Amino acid sequence: MRLLVDTHVFLWFILDDPRIRTNARSLLVSSEHERFVSIAYAWEVAIKHGLGKLQLADGLPGFLRDIEQANFAVLDIAPEHLIELSTLPLHHRDPFDGMLTA
């Protein structure tokens, strides 16, 4: 199975936060699944960290290392994703979640 996780789930996963559900954690630790985060999440984290809304002990470089050390693949944003995003209905105002959907 291919798993694409959002920012909160990834942060909860690497921090061993109890807010992540047991079944989600079991999926994420299984070597049977491919695990991904979007580069849009790193962008979101960089913005929130820069605004002081998210504290990162080792800053953005540490967050990027955490992705690598947890063996998650990073999905890039390509022009075709932007085209797809422009065709989607606005279900909410979070541009990062919209990019994930695209």
pLDDT tens, position by position, 26-63 = 999 988 999 999 998 888 888 889 999 988 888 889 98
* CATH label of the domain that carries residue 20: 3.40.50.1010
pTM of the prediction?
Answer: 0.77
Q: How confident is the model at residue 3 (pLDDT cuts 50, 70, 90)?
A: very high
Domain, as residue range, for 29:
2-101
Hey, CA dihedral for 93, 95, 96, 100, is it positive or negative? positive
Alpha-carbon torsion, ordered 84, 85, 91, 92, to 10 deg: 170
> What is the pLDDT at residue 88?
82
Residue 100, pLDDT above cutoff 80: no
HSE at residue 53, side-chain half, CA atoms within 13 A, is 6
Count: domains in the chain: 1
97 or 10, higher pLDDT: 10
Q: Which pair of tokens denotes residue 52?
A: 């002081």
- Residue 83 is which amino acid? I
Q: pLDDT tens, 82-95?
A: 888 888 887 767 77
